[in-house]
Structure 1
């Protein structure tokens, strides 16, 4: 079995694969000061709850955008699983040429998403990942990582609106019943939702203008379903895209 970890700024998504099949997945908060022992105990408890045998884990692969966590996760892999974790970077054999000016600047999650999207949907394609930041990644017809767009995430917008205003409350992000809000909370929810929706659709439309009308659009991330429900462009939501990309890269490394 393969243990795949997608380490984001807000959440860590954990997936366990047996071959190509995703047996189980969990989403946890990203706790930057958690020790290797805490991670090891937590993962073992999650395995036990899922009825999985930790001794069957034969590989661990990580896509991390939180460097302070990498050491603890590497130590956890060695101490609790007896394995050396593979951390995806621009140097990893992903099979996808990176055409960024400086490949070192591309986040591991963006590379992994690109690999999975091209494998599943072909090119050209655009991956929209609604995480702490909203990232748009463009993959060419030939399977090259071209670059993309980074915008403020929905959670950041919610927190900023609350923190920078004296009288506005903290609100949940959800689909409004109508555009015109009849109270402060409804007005904020409308602004947050349709502001994010408009931004995403506008950026995707411009990216399609550069890549071509046959470009596939794939959305992933925690809030993808909410936005996709009213988006003009986000027709495909792939919840496990990043985990699938990690599996594909692991298989490529093992076969090379």
Structure 2
């Protein structure tokens, strides 16, 4: 079995693959101080809950945007699983597609993995949208070449800034407003309208501008925790796949295995 680990700024996602099937997934808050021993205690207990032995895992790959967490993940793999992990973007797990931007090395692992998975899932000209700590928009052409993108603050980050920099605005939960009216009648509704519909308008507007610049028909692929919520309130997405990033890891691991 393959253990794929997506190391994000907010959370780490651990996913177990049996072939192409995701057998289990778990999430833990990102903390660069967490040791390999702590990861091991947490992970081995969770494996037990689904009846999987550590010996069932024969391959590990991780993709990381938090370099300070990498060493302790390697300790987990080497000392507790007895496996040298593949690192997304390096060695046998190199990206395998052209990155046509000014600084190719600056492309984050999560963004590259999303492009890899979306290319296999959809193909053709694409815009890939990932709703995470930051929201990222990626342009991928029909040859699978990464052409560039957009980075914006994630919706929760935007809300944190709004509440943190004001004296009286309350903390609210991210949700769709109960009505489609964009004229709020109280402070909480006004905030929710501004955050939610403002974010939908930003997202739709940027995608339409990207479409116009690309100049060819494109499909829009969305992933991330809030993709399903937004999909219920916009027609802009062609495909929504919450597992896009970890599927990118699985694709790289499969390629690496074929190189052996």
Q: What TM-score comes out, normalization by structure 1 length?
A: 0.96
Shift of 1:213: 4.4
2:114 alignment counterpart? 113
Deviations 1:7-48 (A, max 9, x none): 111111111001111111122211221111001111111111
Q: Secondary structure of 1:192's partner? A: helix
Distance in 2 (CA, whole Å) between partners of 1:10 and 1:100 is 26
Equivalent residue for 2:31? 31
User: Which of residues 237, 241, 244 in structure 2 aligns to 1:241?
Assistant: 244
> Does structure 2 retain, via aligned residues, the 8 Å contact 1:90–1:108?
no
> Which residue is 2:218 aligned to?
215
The alignment covers a number of residue pairs equal to 256
Kept after mapping to 1: 8 A contact 2:89/2:95: no
Q: Is the 8 A contact 2:219 2:237 kept in 1?
A: no
Partners of 1:49 and 1:180 lie apart in 2 by: 48
Secondary structure (helix, strand or coil) at the match of 1:26 reads: strand
The 3-state SS of whatever aligns with 1:189 is helix
Q: Is the 8 A contact 2:101 2:147 kept in 1?
A: yes
Residue 249 of structure 2 is aligned to residue 251 of structure 1? no
Whether the 8 Å CA contact 1:90–1:104 is kept in 2: the answer is no
Contact 1:113 1:127 in 2 (8 A): yes
1:32-71 equivalences in 2 (<5 Å) = 32-71=32-71
Distance 1:88 1:11 in 2: 17
Give the deviation of 1:94 after TM superposition: 2.5
Equivalent residues of 2:5, 2:14 under 8 A apart: yes
Q: Distance in 2 between matches of 1:59 and 1:212?
A: 41
The separation in 2 between residues aligned to 1:221 and 1:101, in whole angstroms, is 26
Give distance in 2, aligned partners of 1:254 and 1:146: 28
Deviations 1:33-91 (A, max 9, x none): 11110011111111111222221111111111111101110111101101111121376
Deviation at 1:214, TM superposition (A): 2.0
Separation in structure 2 between the aligned mates of residue 15 and residue 63 of structure 1, nearest angstrom: 12
Contact 1:94 1:252 in 2 (8 A): no
Question: 2:203 maps to which residue?
Answer: 200
The alpha carbon displacement at 1:254 in A equals 1.5
Structure 1 residues 41 and 185, CA gap change in structure 2 (3 angstroms)? same
The CA distance in 2 between the partners of 1:146 and 1:253, in whole Å, is 25
- Aligned-residue offset at 1:243: 0.9
> What is the distance in 2 between the residues matched to 1:252 and 1:98?
19
Q: Which moved more, 1:164-173 or 1:80-89?
A: 80-89
TM-score normalised according to structure 2 size: 0.95
Partner-residue secondary structure (3-state), 1:44: helix
Cα pair 1:201 1:232 within 8 Å, conserved = no
Unaligned runs of 5+ residues in structure 1 are none
